[in-house]
Amino acid sequence: MKIIGTGSALPKEIVTNDMLAGFLDTSDAWITTRTGIRTRHLQSHETLRDLALSAAQAALVSSGVQAEDIDYLICSNVANSYVSPSLGSILLGPLGCCCPTFDLNGACAGLVYSLDIADSFLKTGKARKILIVAAEEPSRFCNWHERETSVLFGDGASALVVTEGESFVDFRLTGDTHTDILYYKRSMEATPYDRVEEKTTPLVMNGREVFRLAVNSCIEDIDTLLERNGKTPDDIELFLVHQANLRIIDCIREHLEQPKEKFPTNLQNYGNTSSASIGILIDEMSRAGELKDGATLVLSAFGGGFVTGAALLKWSQINY
Ligand code: UT7
């Protein structure tokens, strides 16, 4: 499998830490030192559908693939305003794709999960060209009266077009049950048989525990991936890690004894955009010519569940 097109889209509204400190008991100093985040883009007039659509269209244009030639649309999304239909179904018509689609909830690791599935579809000949869209609106899960989670997230979408090729070398995905440390519950209707109506719960997070699991599991994924492919951290040009917290990325980087330049970040500008984050980074860096042809990259992500996903690949340059 190789990536032949990339796209991303962010809401127009840019919200600074100082703006949040205007209505939450927080400060620019706290957010910056604990997370590295300075601003985030939050949906105001746009919908998630708009962002997903524009990221997908940009990816299609850069790939040179026509929408009708896409064989599968895989949509990575934790939740949007519809439980059903899927975000993938919502996008098919406006995109002009007529292919099977499904949504995948791999939390913040959803893009790596989607790439792993796409790789299998391509290897078995089930599809030849796949559009992956990772679109997330975590700002709509948070309790905006509480400072613990709302300052961390941003909304956004990214998209990749993938096809047959030799770029991706290996994946490592893991999963474990830790429901209590990071969850978002939807409301449930009462029925004649179960009269308990459940109200939606804004995102609940045990930040310290997520931090600990994130660092340990990303290190384990990367170490395993490198070892079983006969590589050392020095053989990797860039590590593109889920953009959740600069301190998480630094802990992983310090374990691997690598310089800061090998761990590019954009969370300073966008916050944690969940499964969209690595795709936004790839799109921005690829368009800026910062992903060199033949460069060996590692992608590594973690998310609620607890799930993780990492991939090893050689980048093939895209001409925009
Ligand atoms: O995609 C996965 C999503 N989640 C994550 O990636 C989160 C991973 N975890 C983290 O990034 C960090 O744990 C946080 C940034 C969430 C928190 O940083 P921390 O260094 O673990 O801080 P803490 O939770 O230990 O809290 C330290 C203090 C507490 O006050 P006390 O008890 O020491 O008085 C918090 O109440 O900071 C307080 N605090 C805040 N203060 C100002 C928590 N949130 C805020 C805030 N502004 N926004």
Reported as a single tens digit per residue, the pLDDT across 61-84 is: 999 999 999 999 999 999 999 999
Give the N- to C-terminal CA distance of the chain in Å, as an integer. Answer: 19
pLDDT of residue 290: 98
Is 98 in the same domain as 151? Answer: yes
Q: What is the DSSP string of 49-81?
A: HHHHHHHHHHHHHHHT--GGG--EEEEE-S--S
Is 86 in the same domain as 218? Answer: no
pLDDT of residue 202: 96
Provide the number of structural domains found in the chain.
Answer: 2
Which residue among 136, 166, 196 closes a domain?
Answer: 166
What average pLDDT does range 42-57 have in this prediction? 97
DSSP-assigned beta bridge partners for residue 5: 161
Ligand 1 pocket, mutate which of 34, 35, 241 (most atoms under 8 A from CB): 34
Residue 160 lies in a domain: yes
Is 112 in the same domain as 250? Answer: no
Residue 224 lies in a domain: yes
Is 21 in the same domain as 124? Answer: yes
Residues with CB under 6 A from ligand 1: 26, 30-31, 34-35, 108, 147-148, 151, 205, 207-208, 210-211, 214, 244-245, 272, 303
What average pLDDT does range 11-32 have in this prediction? 98
pLDDT of residue 125: 96
Residue 176 lies in a domain: yes
Contact 56, 7 (CB under 8 A): yes
Nearest CA to ligand 1 atom 21: 208
Q: Which residues contact 258 (CB under 8 A, 6 or more apart)?
A: 233, 234, 236, 239
Residue 31 lies in a domain: yes
Is 202 in the same domain as 123? Answer: no
Nearest CA to ligand 1 atom 41: 26
3-state secondary structure of 319: coil
Is 162 in the same domain as 183? Answer: no
Residue 199 lies in a domain: yes
Is 143 in the same domain as 7? Answer: yes
pLDDT of residue 231: 98
pLDDT of residue 196: 86
CA atoms of 117 and 31, how far apart (whole Å): 35
Is 130 in the same domain as 187? Answer: no
Nearest CA to ligand 1 atom 48: 147
Residues assigned a catalytic role: 108, 242, 272
Is 118 in the same domain as 14? Answer: yes
C-alpha torsion sign, points 68, 3, 115, 170: positive
pLDDT above 70 covers a percentage of the chain that reads: 100
Residue 319 lies in a domain: no
Ligand 1, atom nearest to 153 Cα: 3
Is 10 in the same domain as 149? Answer: yes
Residue 178 lies in a domain: yes
Q: Which residues contact 50 (CB under 8 A, 6 or more apart)?
A: 9
Helix axes 246-256, 207-228, angle to 10 degrees: 30
pLDDT of residue 56: 98
Reported as a single tens digit per residue, the pLDDT across 159-182 is: 999 999 999 999 999 999 999 999
Question: How far, in Å, is the centroid of ligand 1 from the Cα of 98?
Answer: 44
Is 180 in the same domain as 64? Answer: no
When the pLDDT of each residue in the chain is averaged and rounded to a whole number, the result is 97
Q: Which CATH number covers residue 156? A: 3.40.47.10
Reported as a single tens digit per residue, the pLDDT across 216-231 is: 999 999 999 999 999 9
Residue 85 lies in a domain: yes
Is 244 in the same domain as 270? Answer: yes
Confidence band (pLDDT; 50, 70, 90) for 195?
Answer: confident
Which residue among 109, 133, 166 closes a domain?
Answer: 166
DSSP-assigned beta bridge partners for residue 74: 102, 132
| Domain around 19 | 2-166
What average pLDDT does range 194-199 have in this prediction? 88
Nearest to 146, CA basis, from 255, 302, 20:
20
What average pLDDT does range 121-148 have in this prediction? 97
Nearest CA to ligand 1 atom 2: 303
Which residue among 166, 183, 204 closes a domain?
Answer: 166
